[in-house]
Amino acid sequence: MATSDAFARGRFRRALNLSKLGAELAVRQAQRLVARDPAAAHRAVAETLAKELGAMKGLPMKIGQILSYMEGVLPEEYRATYQEVLGTLRVRAAPVDSAACLQILTDELGARPEQAFERFDPEPIASASIGQVYRARFEGREVCVKVQYPGIKEAVDSDLANLDGIMGLVHAVMPGIDTAAMVEDFKARLHEESDYVQEASYQRRFAAIYRADPDLVIPEVIDARSTQRVLTTVFLDGAPIERFLPGAPQAARDRAGQALFRMAFGTLLEQGLFHADPHHGNLLFECGPERRLGVLDFGCVQPVEPQAQADLADLICAALEGRDLMGPTEKALGISEVDDTTRRVVVDITRQVLAPILAPQPYRFTREAARALAKEVTDAKLKLAGKVITRRARLGLEREGVMFVVRNLFGLASIWGTLETQGDFRAITEQLLAGAPDAPAS
- Mean pLDDT score, 401-430: 87
- Whether residue 362 is preceded by a cis peptide bond, meaning omega within 30 degrees of 0, is yes
Burial of residue 8 (CB within 10 Å: 0-12, 13-18, 19+) is buried
Give per-residue pLDDT as tens, 278-330: 788 899 999 999 999 999 999 989 898 999 999 999 999 999 999 999 999 88
430 or 38, greater pLDDT: 430
% of the chain at pLDDT higher than 90? 44
Residue 437 confidence (pLDDT): 81
Could you tell me the end-to-end alpha-carbon distance of the chain, in angstroms, rounded to an integer? Answer: 58
Residue 333 confidence (pLDDT): 82
- Mean pLDDT score, 371-384: 69
Residue 396 confidence (pLDDT): 46
Burial of residue 237 (CB within 10 Å: 0-12, 13-18, 19+) is exposed
Residue 68 confidence (pLDDT): 73
Residue 274 confidence (pLDDT): 92
Give per-residue pLDDT as tens, 38-73: 788 778 878 877 787 777 776 777 777 777 777 666
pLDDT of residue 80 exceeding 70: yes
Q: How many helices (H) and strands (E) does the chain have?
A: 21, 12
Query: CA-to-CA distance for 343 and 438, rounded, in angstroms?
Result: 26
% of the chain at pLDDT higher than 70? 76
CA-closest candidate to residue 303, choices 423, 188, 172: 188
Query: CA-to-CA distance for 232 and 116, rounded, in angstroms?
Result: 12
CA-closest candidate to residue 304, choices 352, 355, 351, 264: 264
pLDDT of residue 175 exceeding 70: no
430 half-sphere exposure, CB direction, 13 A CA radius: 10
Residue 441 confidence (pLDDT): 65
pLDDT of residue 167 exceeding 80: no
Average pLDDT along the chain: 82
At residue 88 the predicted structure's pLDDT band, cuts being 50, 70 and 90, is: confident
Residue 30 confidence (pLDDT): 56
At residue 349 the predicted structure's pLDDT band, cuts being 50, 70 and 90, is: confident
CA angle 156, 92, 178 (to 5 degrees): 50
27 or 160, greater pLDDT: 160
- Mean pLDDT score, 365-385: 74
Query: CA-to-CA distance for 224 and 398, rounded, in angstroms?
Result: 40
In b/e form, how buried is each residue of 87-111, taking b as 16+ CB within 10 angstroms? bbbbbbbbbbebeebbebbeebbee
Residue 294 confidence (pLDDT): 98
Q: Which range is least confidently modeled, 83-97, 114-128, 317-331, 339-353?
A: 83-97
Residue 18 confidence (pLDDT): 60
Burial of residue 246 (CB within 10 Å: 0-12, 13-18, 19+) is exposed
347 or 53, greater pLDDT: 347
Burial of residue 218 (CB within 10 Å: 0-12, 13-18, 19+) is buried
pLDDT of residue 4 exceeding 70: no
pLDDT of residue 360 exceeding 90: yes
Residue 22: CB atoms within 10 Å = 17
Residue 2 confidence (pLDDT): 47
Residue 83 confidence (pLDDT): 76
Q: Which range is least confidently modeled, 322-331, 339-348, 398-407?
A: 398-407
Residue 392 confidence (pLDDT): 44
- 3-state SS class at 287: strand
- Give the residue extent of every domain in the chain: 11-91+162-176, 242-442
Query: CA-to-CA distance for 411 and 47, rounded, in angstroms?
Result: 22
pLDDT of residue 439 exceeding 50: yes
List Cβ neighbours of 428 (8 Å cut-off, separation of 6 or more): 258, 261, 262, 265
For 233, the enclosing helix (H) or strand (E) is strand 230-234
Residue 393 confidence (pLDDT): 41
pLDDT of residue 192 exceeding 90: no
> What's the full length of the chain, in residues?
442
